[in-house]
Amino acid sequence: MSTGDKRVQDYLEQIRSRVDDWAQGKGYGPGRWSNWSKDAAEHDVVFLVNHVADLNDKIRELEAWEGRYWALLEECERSRPHGPEYAENMSAFPKGTVLLDNEGTAWQFFGKREWHLMWDVDRGYSTPPEKYGPYKIIYKPEEEK
């Protein structure tokens, strides 16, 4: 925290303390017997209005950075090489290939036209059902020579 930020936080705490005292009927100031300026409340309001304006500027700046972040992320995603979304011949994959369906479920190819859900190896499919497509290849082993 910078010195300026610390000073702002300290002043905000002082204002909070004065408001609490005022709410408890103790007057608005550090104490009843001090030579506290009568226009302290006005100074506090001016400070708070300026502080809110500064916070709004920071919010706009953060929103601009967030927009830049999402634009860069989209650009990276577009430039990233993608594997085939869905293969016509699902048995053309090497044994051990893993696909991810549109619900995030993994399918593994066991060879001989047998695709299995990763959590249900007892039930095999000749091809993963189209209703769960498009599929993304998340692992494709090197083909044996």
Q: Are 108 and 93 in contact (CB under 8 A)?
A: no
Q: How confident is the model over 42-68, as pLDDT tens digits?
A: 888 889 999 999 999 999 999 999 999
Q: How confident is the model at residue 27 (pLDDT cuts 50, 70, 90)?
A: confident
Mean pLDDT of the 104-133 span: 80
Amino acid 57: pLDDT = 93
Q: Average model confidence (pLDDT) for the chain?
A: 80
Q: In what order do the strands lie in the sheet with 136-139?
A: 120-125, 115-117, 106-109, 98-100, 136-139
CA atoms of 72 and 11, how far apart (whole Å) = 39
Q: How confident is the model at residue 33 (pLDDT cuts 50, 70, 90)?
A: very low
Mean pLDDT of the 111-116 span: 78
Q: Are 120 and 108 in contact (CB under 8 A)?
A: no
Amino acid 117: pLDDT = 83
Cβ neighbours for 8, distance < 8 A, ≥ 6 positions apart: 51
Residue 112 predicted with pLDDT over 80: no
Q: Are 115 and 128 in contact (CB under 8 A)?
A: yes
Two structure tokens written together for 12: 């905000």
Mean pLDDT of the 6-31 span: 82
User: Could you tell me where the DSSP H helices lie in the chain?
Assistant: 3-23, 40-79
Using the structure block, give the residue that is written with the tokens 């925290």: 1
- Estimate to the nearest angstrom the gap between the alpha carbon of 22 and the chain centroid: 41
Residue 24 predicted with pLDDT over 90: no
What is the reported pTM?
0.44
**Beta bridge mates, 137:** 99
